Structure 1
Amino acid sequence: MPPPRTPKTSAPPDPAPSPQGYDGTSPFPSDGPAPIRDGGERLYVAVTGVIVVLPFVAIALAGWLLWGRLIHPTDIVLALVLYTITGLGVTVGFHRGLTHGGYRAARPVRIALAVAGSMSFQGDVIGWVATHRRHHAFTDRPGDPHSPYRYGTHLRGQLRGLLHAHVGWLFRSDSTPADRYAPDLLADRDIRAVSRAFPVLCVLTLALPFGVGWAIGGTWLYGVTALLWAGLVRIALLHHVTWSVNSLCHLIGERPFRTRRHDRATNLWPLALLSFGESWHNLHHADPTSARHGVDRGQVDPSAAFIRLLERLGWVHDVRWPTADRVAARRV
């Protein structure tokens, strides 16, 4: 039985228009007094803090361990391989496939991409998709979970908003209900199983480089350096590339395509390779279901190239490739 199709819309319809009086430059209305955190919320904040801070500690530790030494080639190769696998799991699996329905995948491919994305340490697949659909429903206006315009467009507000959009939003008590934003995934038995397995996959994404490094190098020290570079440092880099799309790609860059009111998504070419094409963010917000984000000459989009490969292998179908007329209709 084929898996349920992701809805054609990139996000649920807005439940209500923007709060009356919001002009696109003022700070977002206050959420009211901060709720008293229960034990579960405090645990969530603590775990989030560990996930954000630990990779930086790993970088410092790696520098101390490798002072005056060479980095093992195994570490570099493992880091590149795992960065690519988990990065494409996020961009092709979580984002272009499950969130926006840019293609339909065979069941094994759908599951494999969801597993790979979960190993990026960016949250369980259902929560990730729900949050991103909410971002599209309320882009850069009240309701957006990570807009850099949350505190207004004056300099101090922009600096505070940049920090919020990059990482601060992770620490807010502002959960996104999956039953409203991702009911299709809640109804998918396979995706529910991957979502429940998220803690195990987080352990696996660290144990794998440690085990491979030890097996190839023959000593535990090789396992530790592989864990640092191909595990924690790799996770830190992918985290901040992903978060930069949330923050920088709504503040700086070019906007050759029209987006909805208040939506300030931009194209930021320096991030294109590291983000696997996700930083062609302006076109994505102009046409969210498109399987390709980099549509202009010279705009490299590795995620789209990977989807094309899967299509030629017969593993994905009904791919929503952009057409010349569709692109032209959205151009400024």
Structure 2
Amino acid sequence: MNTVRQTRAGAIAIWIFVLTPFLGLLAAGPIAWGWGLTTLDVIMFVIGYAVTGFGVTAGYHRYLTHGSFKANRSLRIALAVAGSMAVEGSPIQWVANHRRHHAYSDRDGDPHSPWRYGTSVLAVLKGLCFAHIGWMFRGELSNRARFAPDLAGDRDMQVVDKLTGPLVAVSLLTPALIGGLVTGTWAGALSGFFWAGLVRMAILHHVTWSVNSICHVVGERPFVTKDKATNFWPLAILSLGESWHNSHHADPTGARHGVLRGQIDPSARLIWIFEKFGWVRDVRWPKPERLTAKRVATSPAS
């Protein structure tokens, strides 16, 4: 069985955490015009985006989902906590969803393929909306027991999973607390909550969802895969290297997704730093011979 029914509380939570940041983005312009961004807001935004973003990319995705490296227990827990603070779901559920995506990528069973409605312009546009955000409202959750049995049976991950709610609160309220304490005003607290809390979360959400949608429709496909995953360079930095999606689908367990010359991959660099400090081991760096075997054949120049 691929899916289980989502609880009513889970569905309500999705609506809250999708619509609230979106409304925040709509209000961003008028608020910025009236208040402006402070240096403190920017610093908290960048730090918050990096911590939670890498928690998803290096933690949830490359480590917990694909086992691209092995980490010591402290880092393992830290990455799961950081990923939970991105407000994209608990680690076990996120991993189950993504493993299911790889198992059925762009075929029946894929939880968020943009090609589910067909290949006409209208069908693809509808599919993009579904892959970007619509799939979360279907009321289905990928079966943890089938797709993430290793994490479901891991006590540390069980604890982090149960603490997802409080960690979300910490993620959103910490910037407000810092802003209030540093400025000594409610305005500083509200500004920190808005820019480094809601807006930061919303941007990271849409960047992550864009990998599900845009990176299966628009971009280059230099490697052979069984689906339509693409490399989309404009998102490389914001996605912390995740938008090299064709490369990833060609070699899912690879620790580096930006494998070609000039492809920036901040998450791979972070994993490299962890390796240098001795916090991770057995990193699955790309092998030249494997990449060569997966490259799309090109016609010789005439």
Aligned match for 1:174, one of 140, 149, 165:
140
- 2:154 alignment partner, one of 182, 188, 194: 188
Q: CA deviation at 1:62?
A: 4.1
CA distances 1:267-295 after superposition (whole Å, capped 9, x unpaired): 00000000000000001001000000001
- TM-score normalized by the length of structure 1: 0.86
Q: What's 1:28 paired with?
A: none
Equivalent AA in structure 2 for residue 210 of structure 1: A
Cα separation, 2, equivalents of 1:240 and 1:59? 11
Q: Is the 8 A contact 1:133 1:181 kept in 2?
A: yes
> How do 1:117-156 residues align onto structure 2 when only pairs under 5 Å count?
117-156=83-122
Q: Over aligned residue pairs, what C-alpha RMSD do you find?
A: 1.7
Q: Once the 2 structures are TM-superposed, how far is the Cα of residue 41 of structure 1 from its aligned partner?
A: 3.4
CA distance in 2, matches of 1:94, 1:169: 19
Q: Is the 8 A contact 1:148 1:161 kept in 2?
A: yes
Q: Deviations over 1:142-169 (max 9, x none)?
A: 0000000111111111111000000000
Give SS of 1:135's match.
helix
Q: Which residue of 2 aligns with 1:286?
A: 250
In the superposition, the TM-score normalised over structure 2's length comes to 0.95
Q: Is the 8 A contact 1:146 1:164 kept in 2?
A: yes
Distance, in Å, in 1 between the alignment partners of 2:154 and 2:12 is 30
- Give the aligned partner of residue 299 of structure 1: 263
Name which of 278, 288, 292 aligns with 1:328. 292
Name the one with the larger helix percent.
2
Letter of the 1:305 partner, please give it.
R
CA–CA distance in structure 2, aligned partners of residues 72 and 201 of structure 1: 25
1-side partners of 2:30 and 2:220: how far apart? 40
Q: Which amino acid letter does the alignment assign opposite residue 331 of structure 1? A: R
Q: Distance in 1 between matches of 2:189 and 2:108?
A: 46
Shift of 1:175: 1.7
**Hey, what's the Cα distance between the residues in 2 that align with 1:319 and 1:158?**
37
User: Which residue identity does 1:267 align to in structure 2?
Assistant: N
Aligned positions of 1:38-77 closer than 5 A: 41-77=7-43
Following TM superposition, the consecutive aligned residue runs of length 4 or more in structure 1 with deviations greater than 4 angstroms are none
Instruction: List alignment gaps of at least 5 residues for structure 1.
Output: 1-14, 17-30
Measured in 1, the distance between the counterparts of 2:27 and 2:294 equals 48
1:309 pairs with 2:273: yes
Give the Cα separation in 2 of the matches to 1:193 and 1:96: 21
What corresponds to 1:254 in structure 2? 220
Deviations 1:81-134 (A, max 9, x none): 000000000000000000000000000000000000000000010000000000
Please give the secondary structure, in 1, of the residue aligned with 2:193.
Answer: helix
Letter in 2 for 1:166: H
How far 1:265 moved relative to its partner?
Answer: 0.2
Could you tell me how far 1:44 is from its partner in structure 2? 2.4
The answer to whether the 8 Å contact 1:85/1:116 transfers is yes
Check conservation: 1:62, 1:225, Cα contact below 8 A.
no
- Give the C-alpha shift of residue 181 in structure 1: 0.3
Q: Secondary structure at the match of 1:67?
A: helix
Q: Indicate yes or no: 2:54 matched with 1:88.
A: yes
Count of residues paired in the alignment? 296
Distance across 2 between alignment mates of 1:92 and 1:155: 34
- Residues 217-254 of structure 1: per-residue CA shift (max 9 Å, x gap): 11111010010000000000000000000000000100
**In structure 2, what is the equivalent of residue 99 of structure 1?**
65
**1:8-47 counterparts in 2 under 5 A?**
41-47=7-13
Q: Distance in 1 between matches of 2:208 and 2:137?
A: 16
Give the drift of 1:216. Answer: 1.3
Q: 2:229 aligns with which of 254, 260, 265?
A: 265
Which residue identity is paired with 1:309?
Answer: I
Counterpart amino acid of residue 152 in structure 2: L
